[in-house]
Amino acid sequence: MKKVLLGLVIIIAVIAAGVTYMASNLDELIRTQMETQGSATLKTPVTVDAVSVALKEGKITIRGVNVANPEGYSENRAFNLEEISLDVKLSAEEPYTVESLVIDQPTVLYEVDASGKGNLMVLKDNVQASMPKQQSTEQTGPNPLVAVENISIRNTRLIIDFESMDLQGLNIEDLQLDKKRYEVTLPTFSSDPVGVPNGLPADQVGKAILDSMLSNLNRQAKQKAKDLIEAKAKEKIKEKVDEKKEELKEKAKDKIKDLFKQ
């Protein structure tokens, strides 16, 4: 049983914080290491409000993960993860398995810099720069193999900031956007399993999950922004067409009146 619990402690630490330490105050250890390792990986400040570990139940809850925007963007947070829940399978053998990882109620800001590059893509690039060029199951030192079977992101609140966005010659005022920021709720989406079936070294697992999540969020944010702009552009075109129709109708009426003056 001691080995099982040790394995569980290791997987909790490496999944949530990217480290393999054992300590009496595991909650605080994971919280501080998430901040340290997260900031180093994303190259922007990361804070975590609280971590709760229930060893006997194999459950971990992480609350309030806040990630600042990368340099060159607004001072707003890039995203906030309200709650992350992990269900860990008790096992004495590698790969240690996380049966489910659920990210609930994240708030994500999508904005672009003057060059048109999105903030989420910058964060993704930073994550990828910290990852090995080729995934490997070879272990070096105390770095256990880990597999995450199910990953889902629910109730995502996406904020799209059009103010600094390059609209390719279109003008926000011309499009008559109701506001410069739009909020949409994304449907639940899942990321591919990580390290299944043979496991990955623990220090690669969290980065792989973050990379996949950012890819998905960036893709959906760009599509939602495009859909909103296209819808507004179509409305504007329709208004112009309707105005032209009315103008032609009035001209036709005048011509008809002229025909029957005498």
Cβ-contact 126, 42 below 8 angstroms: yes
Confidence of residue 23 (pLDDT cuts 50, 70, 90): very low
Q: What is the mean pLDDT of residues 74-83?
A: 94
Helix (H) / strand (E) element for 30: namely helix 26-42
For 31-45, how does the pLDDT look when each residue is reduced to its tens digit (9 = 90+)? 888 888 889 999 999
Which has more pLDDT, 139 or 65? 65
Q: Are strands 189-191 and 151-154 parallel, antiparallel or unpaired?
A: antiparallel
In Å, what is the CA distance from 184 to each residue of 57, 65, 140, 187? 35, 21, 44, 10
pLDDT higher than 80, residue 87 = yes
What does the pLDDT look like over 88-131, one tens digit per residue?
Answer: 887 778 888 899 999 999 999 999 887 888 999 999 999 999 88
Averaged over 212-224, what is the pLDDT?
91
Range picked from 3-7, 56-60, 151-155, 238-242 for highest mean pLDDT: 151-155
**Predicted confidence (pLDDT) at residue 262 exceeds the cutoff of 50:** no
In terms of pLDDT, which residue wins out, 196 or 232? 196
Q: Report the candidate in 19, 68, 20 with the shortest Cα–Cα distance to residue 43.
A: 68
CA distance 90 to 112: 43
Confidence of residue 79 (pLDDT cuts 50, 70, 90): very high
What does the block give as tokens for 113? 């810099």
- Residue 6's pLDDT is what? 43
Q: What is the pTM of this model?
A: 0.78
Domain chopping of the chain, boundaries: 2-245
Structure tokens at 201: 């070294």
Q: Quick one: pLDDT at residue 128?
A: 93
